[in-house]
Structure 1
Amino acid sequence: MTTASNARFNAEALSWDSNPDVQLATTLAHKAYLSRLPPAATLATYNVLDLGCGTGLLSLALAPSVRSVTAVDAAEGMIAALESKLGASASSKSNRNVSAVCALLQDPDDARLATDPATATTKPGRRFDLVVSHLVLHHIPDLPALFRTMHGCLAPGGRVMVTDFEDFGPAARTFHPEARMAGVERHGIDRAQIRSVLEEAGFGDVKVETAFEMEKKVETEPGSGVMGPVVMFPFLICEGTRGG
Structure 2
Amino acid sequence: MFGPGDVNFFDLVAPLYDILMPGADPDVLADALAVATGPVRRVIDVGGGSGRASAALPAGLDADGPVVVDASAGMLTRAQDRGFGAVRGDAARLPVHSNAVDAAVIVDALHHFPDVPGAFTELSRAIRPGGVVVVREFDPSHPLGRVLAVGERAIGMDSTFLEPDDLRSDLETTGFDATVLDRGFTYTVVGQVPERGDADR
**TM-score, normalized by length of structure 2?**
0.83
Measure the CA separation in 2 of the matches of 1:82 and 1:64: 18
2:71 alignment counterpart: 74
Tell me, what secondary structure is at the counterpart of 2:162? Answer: coil
Quickly say closer, same or farther: Cα 1:167–1:84, change in 2 above 3 A.
same
Between Structure 1 and Structure 2, which shows a larger proportion of strand residues? 1
Aligned length, in residue pairs: 189
Higher RCO (CA 8 Å, separation ≥ 6 residues): 2
Asked whether 1:84 is paired with 2:85, we answer no
Asked whether 1:143 is paired with 2:116, we answer yes
Measure the CA separation in 2 of the matches of 1:202 and 1:178: 31
Identity across aligned pairs (percent)?
24
Once superposed, what is the RMSD of the aligned Cα atoms?
A: 2.4
The one-letter amino acid paired with 2:47 is G
2:199 alignment counterpart: none
Q: Give ranges in structure 2 of 5+ residues lacking alignment.
A: 197-201
2:106 to 126, 129, 133: 133
1:189 alignment counterpart: 162
2:180 alignment counterpart: 208
- What does 1:1-244 correspond to in 2, within 5 Å? 1-19=2-20, 22-24=21-23, 26=24, 28=25, 30-38=26-34, 43=39, 45-62=40-57, 64-67=59-62, 68-86=65-83, 98-108=84-94, 110=95, 113=96, 125=98, 127-168=100-141, 172-175=145-148, 177=151, 181-186=155-160, 188-204=161-177, 206-210=178-182, 234-243=185-194, 244=196
The one-letter amino acid paired with 1:70 is V
Q: Give ranges in structure 1 of 5+ residues lacking alignment.
A: 87-97, 114-123, 214-233
Tell me, what secondary structure is at the counterpart of 1:105? Answer: coil
The answer on whether the counterparts of 1:46 and 1:66 sit within 8 Å (CA) in structure 2 is yes
The one-letter amino acid paired with 2:169 is S
Which structure has the larger Rg?
Answer: 1
Q: Runs (4+) of structure 1 moved beyond 6 Å?
A: none
Instruction: Give CA deviations for 1:183-207 in whole Å, capped at 9, x if unaligned.
Output: 2422x32123212210111102x10
1:225 alignment counterpart: none
Quickly say closer, same or farther: Cα 1:178–1:2, change in 2 above 3 A.
closer
The one-letter amino acid paired with 2:59 is P
Measure the CA separation in 1 of the matches of 2:99 and 2:163: 32
The one-letter amino acid paired with 1:167 is P
Quickly say closer, same or farther: Cα 1:15–1:141, change in 2 above 3 A.
same
The answer on whether the counterparts of 1:63 and 1:69 sit within 8 Å (CA) in structure 2 is no
